[in-house]
Amino acid sequence: MRGRVQGVDVIARDWIGLMVEVVESPNEYEIGLKGEVVDETQNTLRIMTEKGLKIVVKKKRTFRVWYGDKIMRIKGDLISYRPEERIKKGLVMLKRAKGVRI
Amino acid sequence: MIKRDKKRESRIAKERVVYLIKRAEEWKNKDYELARRYVELAKKIAMRYRVRVPRGLKTIYCKKCLYPYKSDRFRVRVRKGRVIVTCLNCGFERRIPVR
Amino acid sequence: MYDFLRFVPENLMDLGFKSYIFMLEKPGICGGVVVKAENPDDLRKKLRKVRKNIIVGVTGNEAVCREAVMRRKVDLILDSDNRQLDYATIKLAAEKDVAIELSLAKFIRNKGLSRMQLFERLCDEVRVIKKFDVPFVVTTAAENVYEMRTRRQVENFFSFFGCEIVKARQHATRLVRKYYDTRFIMDGFEIEAELEADVKKKG
């Protein structure tokens, strides 16, 4: 039986400063991009990779995120809101999903 | 309609505001534009969730153009019982009374 | 692919299912609860007693089903002989993320004209389900050993009526994972690993 899961509220938190890796993408050259998120807009993440600053669209991609003591896999569609709006939207989204307790 | 958890929202908002401004302070010598962006985001979050920017962090950036104060980019003078901080990016003067 | 049973058989046969979920009236060790209700008020009363963190299925007449779809605790609308779903209910189920069960057992139980009517009803339901992309599961819903069937039989039967079996499988796994997998949070959001174990790997 599942109970409370810590760190689920990444979708409501700051992504700036987190380590992120692109796992799935329709653009195969994007897969494997890894680095720290520097900036964020409604539709894109700016990732500082080893090869420089890359701009990755959020929608239709899957990201692997290092947050706290967990590694998570999140679809970009879930976070494609403005960063300041995501606190509200993310929490509501988590509340609406069944079987989740934050 | 699902009820919003406003307490939780404002708690997260507070943490984010503090985090972003501190990060702007760290980054202002590496990338000035980005540092401004962080302050802008922090301000947006603070306004949307009606969270106060902590007093200590308020004086880190210019209120008008949102650039963090960085050496050579601002001037501090004490005049007539106030501290006057001038931002040299936009020329905005902030007057802080000395108590 | 999971099967939803209404009883606990003495010895489980391998019928091709990955696992079984036991939907019982009294919540057991593993599985879900069935809430039987006469009318919407009755349903509300009974739902209050049900504890969280368990798959909740509802059976009843048309009005009960309509009420059930709007409840947050309900995950599944179970199939029964006299279940009727109207267009609006199925549409709402898609919005509220409530799965609809299509069962084989009721076709086995009935004969003749009543079975024909059931076929007709199934066709209607499937059409609406397809239209709005409603979550649904295909099951045997067996109440005794004699109603249990193999997975292939169930799937073939429903694919004949136009159900997309692949989707049904997805919905079933999703429903189960929601409650029994700590790694699964919601669609497109999973926990891959706890970091402590990972740090050791990296060295």
Residue C202: the pLDDT is: 42
Is the model's pTM score more than 0.90?
no
Q: Would you call B9 and A16 a contact, using CB atoms and an 8 Å cutoff?
A: no
Number of structural domains found in chain A: 1
Number of structural domains found in chain C: 1
Q: How far apart are CA C151 and CA C167, in angstroms?
A: 15
Selecting from A69, A94, A98 the residue whose C-beta is nearest the C-beta of C195 gives A69
pLDDT band at A26 (very low <50, low <70, confident <90, very high): very high
Q: How far apart are CA C168 and CA C137, in angstroms?
A: 5
Report ipTM for this prediction.
0.84
Residue located via tokens 């159900």: C163
Burial-class residue C31 by CB neighbours within 10 Å (0-12, 13-18, 19+). buried
Q: How far apart are CA C109 and CA C26, in angstroms?
A: 24
Residue located via tokens 């809430």: C35
* Residue at C62: amino acid letter: E
Q: B63: how many CB neighbours lie within 10 A of its CB?
A: 13
Q: What average pLDDT values come out for chain B (99 residues) when binned by 10 residues?
A: 84 92 90 91 92 89 90 89 91 88
Residues of B in contact with A16 (CB under 8 A): 20, 23, 38, 41
Q: Would you call C182 and A2 a contact, using CB atoms and an 8 Å cutoff?
A: yes
Give the distance from residue A9's alpha carbon to the nearest chain C alpha carbon, in angstroms.
11
Q: Which chain A residue has the Cα nearest residue B5?
A: A91
Q: Of A41, A85, A40, A35, which is closest to residue A65 (Cα–Cα)?
A: A35
Q: Would you call A87 and B19 a contact, using CB atoms and an 8 Å cutoff?
A: no
Q: What is the CATH number of the domain that holds A42?
A: 2.30.30.210
Q: Angle formed by the axes of helices B6-27 and B32-48, to 10°?
A: 160
Per the domain annotation, does A18 fall within a domain?
A: yes
Residue from C96, C189, C194 whose CB has the most chain A CBs within 10 Å, to mutate:
C189
Q: Of C160, C31, C184, C180, which is closest to residue C102 (Cα–Cα)?
A: C160
Q: How far apart are CA C61 and CA B22, in angstroms?
A: 59
Segments making up each domain of chain B, as ranges: 6-97
Per the domain annotation, does A24 fall within a domain?
A: yes
Q: How far apart are CA B67 and CA C59, in angstroms?
A: 62
Residue-wise pLDDT tens digits, C70-113: 888 888 888 888 888 888 888 888 888 888 988 888 888 888 89
Residue C27: the pLDDT is: 66
* Chain B residues in contact with chain A using a Cβ-Cβ cutoff of 8 Å: 2, 4-5, 8-9, 12-13, 15-16, 19-20, 23, 34, 37-38, 41, 44-45, 48-49
Q: Would you call A39 and B37 a contact, using CB atoms and an 8 Å cutoff?
A: yes
**Structural domain containing residue C24:** 2-202
Per the domain annotation, does A92 fall within a domain?
A: no
Q: Which residues contact A94 (CB under 8 A, 6 or more apart)?
A: A8, A9, A11, A12, A100, A102, C185, C186
**Structural domain containing residue A62:** 14-81
Q: How far apart are CA A43 and CA C51, in angstroms?
A: 40
Q: Would you call C185 and A100 a contact, using CB atoms and an 8 Å cutoff?
A: yes
Class of domain B6-97: mainly alpha
Parallel, antiparallel or unpaired: strands A19-24 and A70-75: unpaired
Residue-wise pLDDT tens digits, C148-197: 888 888 888 889 888 888 988 888 888 888 877 777 877 778 887 776 65
Lookup: tokens for C164: 């997309």
Residue-wise pLDDT tens digits, C17-44: 888 888 877 766 666 788 888 888 888 8
Residues of B in contact with A17 (CB under 8 A): 19, 23
Per the domain annotation, does A20 fall within a domain?
A: yes
Q: What is the CATH number of the domain that holds C124?
A: 3.20.20.140
Give backbone dihedrals phi and psi of B9, rounded to 5 degrees, phi first.
-60, -50
Q: Would you call A70 and C185 a contact, using CB atoms and an 8 Å cutoff?
A: no
Q: Rg for chain A (alpha carbons), in Å?
A: 14
Contact criterion met (CB below 8 Å) for A40 and A15: yes
| Statement: residue C62 has pLDDT above 60 | yes
Q: Would you call B4 and A85 a contact, using CB atoms and an 8 Å cutoff?
A: no
Residue-wise pLDDT tens digits, A86-96: 898 888 888 87
Helices (H), C133-164: 151-160
If one compares C13 and A27, the residue with the highest pLDDT of the two is A27
Q: How far apart are CA B30 and CA C2, in angstroms?
A: 55
Q: Strands across the sheet with A62-67, in order? A: A52-57, A44-49, A34-40, A19-24, A62-67, A70-75, C189-194, C184-186
According to DSSP, residue B61 is labeled B
Q: Would you call B34 and A38 a contact, using CB atoms and an 8 Å cutoff?
A: yes
A88 touching B (Cβ < 8 Å): yes
Residue C70: the pLDDT is: 86
Give the distance from residue C28's alpha carbon to the nearest chain A alpha carbon, in angstroms.
12
Residue-wise pLDDT tens digits, C123-146: 988 999 999 888 888 888 888 888
Size of interface A-B (CB pairs under 8 A): 44
Q: Would you call C194 and A69 a contact, using CB atoms and an 8 Å cutoff?
A: yes
Per the domain annotation, does A49 fall within a domain?
A: yes
